[in-house]
Amino acid sequence: MDARTLPAVEKLDDAYIEDASKIVTNGEQEVVVREFDPKFMRKTMLKLDLIVMPLLTLIYLASSLDKSNLGNAKALGMMKDIGHDPTGDTYALLNSLYYVSYAPFMVPFALLGKRTRMVSVLTFCALLWGIAATCFAAVQNYSGAFACRFFIGLGEAGFSPLIQVFLSRFYAREKLGTRVAVWLAMAPLGGFVNGIVAYGVSFIHGSLESWRILFLIEGGATVLVSIIAIIVLPDDIASCKWFTAEEKDYLMYERFMSMGPEVKQINWKQARGALYRWPQVLPMLMNMCQQITGAALSAYLPTLLSENGFKGATAQIATLAPYGSAAVCMIIAAKISDRIGSRGWPTQFGWVLLIVGFATFLGAPTHNKAAHFAALILAETGHYICTPLIVTWSANNAGSESRRAVAVPLAVALAQAVAIGSGYLFPASESPRYTRGAAVEVALSCVGMIFTFMYMGLIKWENSRRDSREGGPPALGTRPDTAQYADEAEGFRYIG
């Protein structure tokens, strides 16, 4: 096919809808159509990627640095400088405070973004946590550290879970997985970069402690990128000043071929449906199982590596292997997922890596340093393969933006609420064996795999039921009325 033919659309009430004009031929109606050249389509999609993705990934990279640098700051002596913590309980509480402020505010921020200007909510929240992370460099006691950690979590509550909803304003369902994975790859890449930065600042000997310099560098970077994003990022395709009218038309077509047009008003019936309908609830349960792993590794990876033979600043460099593997593998898995049209099987592969990783950590003797190092690489890689696939799965199968605005952040919020306990999975008193923590991670990964199989089976059954009811699969080019009926719209099929 040399060109793409799509139904014409027009702008109405902040949404694009199908053109009502028709051509009558022999008593039959035909939809007015336009054609787009494939070269133009590729060029426009690349332009969209260059406008939207770099700043979002840079902000999330900064987010990952600010979130994961607590573990590196601890390795650089932060806890000794601001107070005595022989049992590790105070550090566990400090780590958990991030999730205390993060989890409860995700859904409110997402609904605020849906109802107002989403890009403003995203960027100003990023600016908030960037300022809080920078202020961390000035803390002198636990009270100041607790306050900064709380506001870092509060700022990220309005950014990370809202990104999937924001990206769905620009990309069709079948193109969303890879973009979300590229964005989320900044989390392990953040750990990768953090290890390098922490290694570098460990050699700085001046009036400021190394961990303070770490917070100044990474918090300041967040503030700078956030200010640029406030100026540059568009709120949606229609309002983007960087696109021509023809480019906007194509991107609207591409986007609304898989999802119906949206307006800013919240459909509360659809939003409430995310609380009890299985297509939204099961991804929440899966995400709860895997997020504890990420939270625990983020907080304790440098410590676990230092106990595995990597001493001092070398422990920071050793984090590059698990984080680098995770960043590469999660993008490959998401690309494969988009290509084959399945989220389930790549997610199951991630669960397998998690189970094998923590089972190895649990079973290998403590003197087998190579086995423990390999186990940490496998676990980190498995976690980051699951993360983008599960949240994209939830966004794909929500149908409408009103339902996505609750389903996606609620899935993340519940996972982060459970992750509060991750700070207590690897207490210093159980070093270096950590039997309880490793056993819990194996059990949760097995449960997550079971939930994933259940979700895949239910999706296959429901799609078959809809095919029977509607006389077969949807015709090519069918655009379900998801704005009105969300994932219950005629012609809508779940991605398995």
User: What integer is the mean pLDDT of 357-375?
Assistant: 88
pLDDT computed for residue 201 by the predictor:
74
* Residue type at 46 in one-letter notation: L
Q: Looking at the predicted structure, is the pLDDT value of residue 395 above 50?
A: yes
Q: Looking at the predicted structure, is the pLDDT value of residue 491 above 70?
A: yes
Residue 241, SS3 per DSSP: coil
183-197, 333-347, 451-465, 466-480, range with greatest mean pLDDT: 451-465
Transcribe 385-438 into DSSP letters. Answer: HHHHHHHHHHHHTT-SHHHHHHHHHHHHHHHHHHGGGGGGSS-GGGTTT-HHHH
Q: Looking at the predicted structure, is the pLDDT value of residue 7 above 60?
A: no
For CA atoms 269, 275, 277, 280, give the dihedral sign. positive
Q: Are 470 and 490 in contact (CB under 8 A)?
A: yes
Reference 446, options 316, 354, 361; nearest CA is: 354
| Residue of higher predicted confidence among 436 and 77 | 436
Neighbouring CB atoms inside 10 A of 374's CB total: 18
Encoded tokens for 476: 């090519």
Q: Which residues contact 295 (CB under 8 A, 6 or more apart)?
A: 99, 416, 419, 422, 423
Q: Looking at the predicted structure, is the pLDDT value of residue 351 above 90?
A: yes
Return the percentage of the chain with pLDDT > 90, whole number: 17
For CA atoms 241, 247, 251, 253, give the dihedral sign. positive
Transcribe 141-156 into DSSP letters. Answer: SHHHHHHHHHHHHHHH
What are the structural domains, with CATH classification, of the chain? 4-36 (no CATH), 38-470 (1.20.1250.20)
> Exposed, middle or buried by CB within 10 Å (0-12, 13-18, 19+), for 53?
middle
Global pTM reads 0.72
Q: Binning pLDDT at 50, 70 and 90, where does residue 477 land?
A: low
The pLDDT tens digits for 327-337 are 889 889 988 99
DSSP 313: T
How far, in Å, CA of 84 to CA of 62, rounded?
A: 29
Encoded tokens for 302: 């440098």
pLDDT computed for residue 281 by the predictor:
93
* Residue type at 159 in one-letter notation: F
How far, in Å, CA of 348 to CA of 460, rounded?
A: 16
Residue 25, SS3 per DSSP: strand
Residue 345, SS3 per DSSP: helix
Query: Residue holding tokens 């590469």?
Result: 328
pLDDT computed for residue 321 by the predictor:
84
Angle at 487 between CA 482 and CA 490, to 5 degrees: 70
How far, in Å, CA of 399 to CA of 493, rounded?
A: 9
Reference 491, options 462, 455, 457, 466; nearest CA is: 466
Q: Are 254 and 247 in contact (CB under 8 A)?
A: no
Q: Binning pLDDT at 50, 70 and 90, where does residue 92 land?
A: confident
**Pick from 142-151, 241-250, 256-265: least confident:** 256-265
The pLDDT tens digits for 294-318 are 777 777 777 787 777 776 556 667 7
